[in-house]
Structures are given as C-alpha cells and as structure tokens.
Homo-oligomer: A and B are copies of this chain.
Amino acid sequence: MNKNPIGVFDSGIGGLTVVKEIRKILPDEDIVYLGDTARLPYGTKSVDAIMQFSIENAEFLISRGAKFIVIACYSSTSVALDVVQKKCSVPIIGVIKPGVEQALAITKTGRIGVIGTSLTIYSGAYEKAFKEFNTRCEILGRACPLFVPLVEEGWLDHQATELIAQAYLQPLKEDNIDTLLLGCTHFPLLMPVIKKIMGDIHYVDASVEVGRELAQQLKENKLENPRGLGNLSIYLTDLSMNFKEIGERFLAEPMRNFSRISLKGA
C-alpha cells in the first residue's frame, strides 16, 4: 500500500478524459494532474521539444509525490515514453500500449484502424507498438487533425463535423476494418458521429484501457491506496479563457481544485 498520489500529465486538458476513467476504476486514489497548457499542442512541436517538455512534466509530478505516472498525451507517449522512463524512478505507462492490447484481443478479422493527430499517426508509434506483439494484424492509421479543434469548439454533432469525419474515415471503411482504436484524448467525445459513419464494428477507447492497466500495475507493485480520499489536484501551466468549460466537458465533473504553476520553460 502507498498513500501517495498517481501522477497524470498531458499537453493540455484533454488528458482529463483519462483521469475520468481512472477515477471510475480507482475512486479512492488521489490524483495529481498536470496540463502543460502554456505549451500545447504538442502535436505540432518537434520530437526534441516534446521529449524535453515530457521530462519536465514527469519531474514536476514526482516533486509532488507521484508514486506512478500516466502519460495521458498521445504525442508525448508516441515519442517520449522511453526517455521519460529512463530518466524517472517511478513506474510509468503511456496511453498507447493498453489500447493496442485491447484492440488485438477484440479483433476478429485482424484489420484494425487507428485514428489520432498527425504526429501520433505519422510517428509510427502505433505500428511499433503493434509489432511488439508479433501480430499479423493489418494496422491502418489515419490522421484526423481537425477533430481536436472541433471538440474544443463543442461542435460534437454539427453537419460540418459529420462531413469532416466522413472524409477522414471513409478510407478506413473501404478497407473493411472490424476494430477502430481512438488514439487521441479528444476523440471519445466524437464517438456518436464516428459510430454513425463506421457502423457496427468494435471500438476501443484507450482511456478506458489505461485505467484498467493502471489498476493492475498498482496491484502488482503493491502501490494501491484503497482507503484514500480520492482527491484530484489539477495543475496547469497556463489558465486560458475557457479551460474550465472545456475541462469539465472532458472530466465529466466540476473542476474544483486547480492552480497555475510555472515549469522551467513553460
């Protein structure tokens, strides 16, 4: 047993969709969340920059007592998970592997689609993660960069959103995938429009799988805190105009305890 909090970081507030799932499966654990909102989005930054930001984020969470770190950012997991693991003393998981495992467990035909931001898809991080399982499945990646601003604008069921989703997803539909992995924190909010286009296939929301994987690893490492208060502290490197409105959309509960903090470079 370990009473210290779980640390979670993301480039922004989208990672609160992961926090939401962690709180469902581990309601007693304390969580410290860091959103590097002063430097978001990571998806358009260079690999070097993302590595440096990710290390700073992890160090901050460790300075706040984190016993375990979840990288809730796809861009960061894609390019910086290894380097953060090497630099830090606590166990760390990213958002990619748990979703990959679930997609492999659930697919029948072995044709799996993955959608994410441009960096997540073009970095080849998913291909690499699937390869580690020696799978023969065919992995079809598709970048959907406009999904992020559409979610932040709150246009979850606008006709334009449907047209954009249609344009992005049509190639995956034509490729007859039977499983679609949502590889971005923002995308679960577009699940209804995605399902409308893709129809009756299997869907994997990586945030849910990360929660499960975390619960299992806490148990294996004897790090659980089954009698905690379930406190959530949110730190952001910048407080933008509408972060609270958007954040609560992701978290699906009120954001009560948040502060602005400065990192070295943020």
Contact = CB atoms under 8 A, between A and B. Distances in A.
Interface of A: 37-40, 44-46, 49, 118-119, 122, 145-146, 148-150, 152-153, 155, 158-160, 163-164, 167, 238-242, 265-266
Query: How many chain copies?
Result: 2
A44 B44 CA distance: 15
Nearest to A162: B160
Contact of A45 (B118, B152, B160, B238): B238
B163 A241 contact: no
A38 to B, nearest CB: 6
A75 to B, nearest CB: 11
A122 B160 contact: no
A149 B145 contact: yes
Q: Which of A119, A145, A265 has the most CB of B within 10 A?
A: A265
Nearest to A158: B167
A57 to B, nearest CB: 15
Contacts of A155: 146
A46 B149 contact: no
Contact of A150 (B146, B148, B158, B241): B146
Nearest to A123: B241
A40 B46 contact: no
30 contacts: A37-B44, A37-B45, A38-B45, A38-B49, A40-B44, A44-B240, A44-B241, A45-B240, A46-B238, A46-B239, A46-B241, A49-B238, A118-B241, A118-B242, A119-B241, A122-B241, A145-B149, A145-B153, A146-B149, A146-B150, A146-B153, A146-B155, A148-B149, A149-B149, A158-B163, A159-B163, A160-B160, A163-B163, A265-B265, A265-B266
